[in-house]
Structure 1
């Protein structure tokens, strides 16, 4: 894939509060992640740093999408919405995702809600988990393919979800699992890579989400306090960002 890598970030939600003040939109969080991933690839792999051209599209309110002729990869962000709902904008997003999957040049990256949308587009069950919320920094048990792609033996990632992809589609390779979520990442060479966790998040972003959802009564005191005790732990977001870059570069 030629430089610059043209990446369209489909913003499936907007941040609030301090996170919105600092970053504007989730697309900017992903731009930071991808830039850090490109730096890591150059440093660790001893290659010229890939240049990135990141564009952002609000698919919730404006429902504007990129032309596939003008991009090399499409990244679907996380969201507070349910990936299994049938709101018009969600159905439109699923159809666009299927369109990307039907061709073989533009590659797909999915994170949390985006990971679930890709699962839905591949016709596997996506729904509320019967194991409840998975939040804050969580260890992910990697498969051999996951270890190879992420370049690490053990992974920890921020999580903020209670919806899951229930089973792996036949067309993908599993990347990892946790006690509460069997499908933590999917990969198909030259086609797609996804993670259920949030590599773009940091302790400040997740602390604000935990605070808000605690105030709203979504998380009880015990759940909130336990999650806050893990929110500043090491997480491997940049390793995931580097894997996204390598995925876009692979032949």
Structure 2
């Protein structure tokens, strides 16, 4: 099965040599499931010729906001609706979660409650999962027909499903402890409160359910989300 990765941002240059860009992080997360991948840098206006260019689609995170006036955002929203109409499986993570919600009628905004960063615990339909997060923006109104499958006290719409073909999550299952360390060093200063940065540095090695969620993503792509 071929997964098209729609890359909506780039990892910090300081960690790219070691960890790769976002597409590589997802390929690592989904390793062993028999997928092949092709990356389209939509953030650089590189789009697939059609939705048939892959069997399923994955939209990455980004430092950009979905409500910002970038010229690549409207065509990405159009592409999302075409994938939905074609009934192909699609997964969105962080920015991907948000842009899918916005494209399908939901609302995203800069959350007045501040940032979620590092390991966070989420309730996935009664199952507790710990995944890394890195966001201030979040979905504040879910699109009509979307079902909430994950939440916590900070993020009410942390996971959504749309029928049996679209799965989106606010946290980053592809972010390892090393990636969080890199973000704390290169993107957090001046953005996150210093007290939060210092706290996060003490718990970057917290045990995560990243592999578990990677398995869930793989099953969803393969149409086994109910097994």
TM normalised by structure 1 equals 0.84
1:65 aligns with 2:48: yes
**2:69 aligned residue:** 86
Answer whether contact 1:57 1:66 (CA < 8 A) is retained. no
**1:177 paired residue among 128, 131, 151:** 151
Question: Structure 2 vs 1, CA of residues 200 and 66 (structure 1 numbering), >3 Å: closer, same or farther?
Answer: farther
1:240 aligns with 2:223: no
**1:157 aligned residue:** 131
Aligned counterparts, 1:22-33, within 5 A: 22-33=18-29
Displacement of 1:142 in angstroms is 2.1
Moved over 3 A (4+): none
- Counterpart CA distance in 2 for 1:109 and 1:129 is 23
- Counterpart CA distance in 1 for 2:58 and 2:136 is 21
Aligned counterparts, 1:1-251, within 5 A: 5-35=1-31, 38=33, 51-104=34-87, 106-144=88-126, 153-215=127-189, 217-250=190-223
Answer whether contact 1:11 1:56 (CA < 8 A) is retained. yes
- Counterpart CA distance in 2 for 1:52 and 1:142 is 25
Q: Pick which of 226-235 and 74-83 moved more.
A: 226-235
Instruction: Report the RMSD for the aligned CA atoms in angstroms.
Output: 1.6
Choose between structure 1 and 2 for higher RCO, CA contacts under 8 A separated by at least 6 residues.
Answer: 1
Displacement of 1:187 in angstroms is 1.3
Q: How many residues align?
A: 224
DSSP-derived class of the 2:122 partner:
strand
